[in-house]
Chains A and B, each alone.
Chain A
Amino acid sequence: MKKENKPTGYASFRSFLRAVAGATLGLSAGLLICRLVGESPIKVLQVLYQSSFGSGYDFGMTLFYTAPLILTGLAVAIPLKGGLFNIGAEGQLTVGALAAAWAGVLGAGISSPALAVLFATFFAFLAGGLWGLLPGFLKARQGSHEVITTIMLNFIAAGVTAYFTLYTIKDPVSAQAETISIPETFHLKPFAVFNGAPMGWLIFFLILLAVGIHYVLWRSSWGYSLKALGESEVAAETYGISRGSSWMSSMFLAGGVAGLVGLVEVLGNSHRFKIGFSADYGFVGIAVALVARGNILGVLPSAFLFGILQKGSASLDLETDKITRDLSYLIQGLIILGVSAEGLWGWLWKLVRRKNA
């Protein structure tokens, strides 16, 4: 009976290998294009390496880019387990970030930093969560397609947060569209080794969060129901799994997690809410989750990869003659293609076999 552990273990390991091979393939194709436009691939890799790992500051910045992508990657991957495609992480993180900033304004009297951070975390999670719950509810109640509703709610979130930023908690002395800055008790301190890059203990918290969510999804009845629903709605319903509560709870959790981007940005970096602060984290999160193949733990390396590319794209633009920012987006795109090309491997395998035969 020892043999029985093999199949799934093997399958998931193979799936991981495929993802890595796919990413490598996509990267190689990207480097080939760099070569075609006249840039040495070695140079490109060097620049990428230098810009992400070259110094404490660079590494800190890479993590700073990675952190929101972990959260939005999770926000996409969690509902995906239940068969929902959450395009709304962008809106959820915007609402969450505003809530974090607002918590800072409301909680100005809190003297304990730990309590202050907890207070802001709660607000950010709750606001993002409710923003995620709404499409979950509409889907459960009316059957409204979550892709449509979450896209719509992205726009609504942008409008609503802009309103509050400009009319309710606007910084009266700033000429920018931003809120009053939060008190020092709310600030997350960055690590000194990062030389000013705004990232500290938070990154460990995010890794723990991903591990925790993975654990709960795998071990709990709730996670089981969600996965069963994602695998087969009909089977889940036949055996008494409620679609509505699974969908709503998973979207609430996803929205809440996306909302925690407020910690990275507001508490960790700018200490206030700025309209348009997000570099499309919510949308890149979709790519992060896809490259992770919907695997919760896979979101971590996937987000890190995107963090490196995001950080590197500016350096590539500056430090090479031929490569522009757009070209580095192209490389990102090729990596996504490489990983998500499910049929590619079967096709390659067939080709190899035919040659050998």
Chain B
Amino acid sequence: MSALEFRGVSKRFGSFFANRELSFRVEPGTIHGLIGENGAGKSTAMKALFGIHSIEEGTILIRGKPVRIKNPIQAMKLGIGMVHQHFMLAGPETVLDNIILGREPGFFGINREKALAELENISETYGLQFGKWLSPVDELSVGEQQRVEILKLLYQRSEILILDEPTAVLTPQEVSDLFQNLKRLKDEGKTIILISHKLKEVLAHTDAVTVLRRGECVGTRATSETTEDELAQMMVGRPVSFTYEGERKVFAKAEDARAVLRLDRLSISDAQEPLHKVALELRPAEILGIAGVQGNGQTTLLRFLSNPSRFRSADGEYRFAGANRMGSNPLALRRAGMALVPEDRLAEGLLLHQDLMENYLLGQHVDPRFVSRGMIDRSKVRPRVEAAIRDFDIRPPFVNIWASRLSGGNQQKLVIARALDSNPSVLLIAHPTRGVDVGAIERIHEAIMKERNSGKSILLFSSELDELIDLSDRMLVFFNGSVAAEFQRREFDPWAIGRVMGGGEK
């Protein structure tokens, strides 16, 4: 008997099938991977299972029994628990209180002693060591917070645990801890569904994999009988290459070339992620990777570099294109030859309810190529947008549709095309392939490499270590707001870099 079975499940939004006749089984006591590109219907399926979406056709069976799940509370009662990609924890409250929320023992007041005893018991049973029951969640590392989320599901007596992209925010060491823990849960009889787009991970740690594409189930494979190439082909519908295998032009004396962008002793104290005495040099024709666990200052660095005017407390030196840039605004930096692909393309990079042309103008709305006497000549912008749509294969290929109608990958292609439009000398690129379809990743990596090979300087921020290793010429690892170590390309080693990301020595 399967722990979970989808039988012909369909979910429609208007005329669009988010899930079409989805059928697959998850065996009890296994780790089951659920993979697919963005928009393939993974999260729709899991939301249907969790009672957030109602399904139109088909049946969901839990332990062999057909169920109608109307809301998350009912799902939890059926033993289904979910760790969302963004943790749902109340930061200032203690670990204990966060875990027992929703199932607090005691009739008058909360019997924390009883809860604590139960938790100790759980953590012993499942081998999830955890001592900080009474610390505020805020003080924990991301990996520990994730463990709190998992403990919470165990405390709620979940039998089926859904983890949505659980490794996106972890260091390689934390990832390895996570999978050890998951394996122990599995050995204790829990069923785990792992939503992921990292094929390597899925291959290494699951028992079976179900692949979705365009809302449909392409197939389920036993992990031991499949390969990365096969899974990728199932996901995308054609063969894909994962690592950038194109040309990496070697420039003479690139190492001692003059820096185009230079930071010295940069400290920012009043940001959420403060920076402390950061120094870096970006040279022509190189990709400088910025690695680090999320929250160690990379966000502040990127925001400062692209908009120093926002940081009044910044102290130190910032030179770019031969001038001091402390206190500059983005438009001035743009004029000097900088372009930006921001961290969060939905919030920072796009106007979702405007068409592609208006989006293409963002940041270029004062560019003299398009503007004279304060008036924008959109007939000059249109051919540029059309060219971008052609060059980057943006779909659907219409200038006049809202940016919200593009998929994540196509939105990102638009943001990158826009950044390249002004022929910048320095590109700040953050998370270029986050949430981007496997098919589009190739194209984006090619575009970045092409810019590098044509002599441009690129500062690449990414939470995907593989991506940084693939593309970068040098890498700086951030920890606690400072540059913890620098790696040359020949020294790139995920474990060594991961150690520094976690606060260790190079």
The residues of A with any CB-CB pair to B shorter than 8 Å are 1, 3-9, 219-222, 224-225, 227-228, 231-232, 234-242
Contact = CB atoms under 8 A, between A and B. Distances in A.
B57 interface: no
Given A220-B376, A224-B358, A224-B376, A7 B398 contact: yes
A238 B400 contact: no
Contacts of A3: 398
B325 interface: no
B306 interface: yes
Interface stretch (B199-207, B223-231, B269-277, B361-369): B361-369
Contact of B330 (A4, A222, A240): A240
B429 to A, nearest CB: 14
Nearest to B401: A7
A239 B336 CA distance: 14
A173 B19 CA distance: 80
B354 interface: yes
Contacts of A1: 386
B365 A228 contact: yes
Given A220-B376, A240-B334, A9 B307 contact: no
B348 interface: yes
A9 B355 CA distance: 11
B347 A234 contact: yes
Given A5-B400, A7-B401, A239-B330, A221 B375 contact: yes
Given A7-B398, A220-B376, 4 more contacts: A1-B386, A221-B365, A222-B374, A232-B352
A6 B355 CA distance: 12
Interface string B329-366: 11110100000101000011111111100100111011
A8 B400 contact: yes
Nearest to A242: B329
8 contacts: A3-B398, A219-B375, A224-B361, A228-B365, A235-B347, A239-B340, A240-B307, A240-B363
B352 A231 contact: yes
Nearest to A10: B400
A225 B365 contact: yes
A228 B350 CA distance: 9
Given A228-B362, A231-B352, A238 B371 contact: no
Contacts of B401: 7-8
Contacts, number: 83
A11 to B, nearest CB: 8
Contact of B351 (A4, A9, A220, A231): A231
Interface string B394-413: 00011111100000000000
Contacts of A6: 400
B400 A231 contact: no
A94 to B, nearest CB: 32
Contacts of B374: 220-222
A222 to B, nearest CB: 6
- A-B pairs, top 9 by smallest CB distance, nearest first, are A240-B330, A239-B363, A240-B331, A4-B398, A231-B351, A238-B348, A224-B365, A8-B400, A7-B401
Contacts of B353: 231
B351 A238 contact: no
Nearest to A225: B365
A5 B399 CA distance: 8
Contacts of B371: 221
B338 to A, nearest CB: 11
- Which of B331, B353, B365, B399 gathers the greatest number of chain A CB atoms within 10 Å? B365
Contacts of A225: 365
Nearest to A3: B398
A1 B349 CA distance: 26
A238 B307 contact: yes
B351 A228 contact: yes
Contacts of A219: 375-376
A221 B358 CA distance: 11
A171 B369 CA distance: 58
A5 B402 CA distance: 12
Contacts of A221: 365-366, 371, 374-376
A235 B355 contact: no
Contacts of A237: 307, 310
- Which of A219, A235, A242 gathers the greatest number of chain B CB atoms within 10 Å? A235
A23 B332 CA distance: 47
Contacts of B399: 4
A27 B366 CA distance: 45
Nearest to B371: A221
A4 B362 CA distance: 21
B35 to A, nearest CB: 31
Contacts of B355: 7-8
Contacts of A238: 306-307, 330, 340, 342, 348-349
Nearest to B347: A234
Given A231-B354, A234-B348, A240-B307, A9 B400 contact: yes
A287 B386 CA distance: 39
B314 to A, nearest CB: 16
Contacts of A4: 397-400
Nearest to B353: A231
Nearest to A222: B374
Interface string B363-395: 101100001001110000000001000000000
A137 B425 CA distance: 37
Contacts of B400: 4-9
Nearest to B377: A219
A1 B396 CA distance: 12
B393 to A, nearest CB: 15
A235 B348 contact: yes
A350 to B, nearest CB: 10
Given A4-B400, A240-B363, A235 B376 contact: no
A227 B354 contact: yes
Contacts of A227: 351, 354, 358
- Which of A224, A232, A240 gathers the greatest number of chain B CB atoms within 10 Å? A240
Contacts of B347: 232, 234-235
B300 to A, nearest CB: 14
Contacts of B348: 232, 234-235, 238
Interface in B109-164: none
A240 B362 CA distance: 9
Nearest to B357: A8
Contacts of B398: 3-4, 7
Contacts of A5: 400
Nearest to B349: A235
Nearest to B405: A7
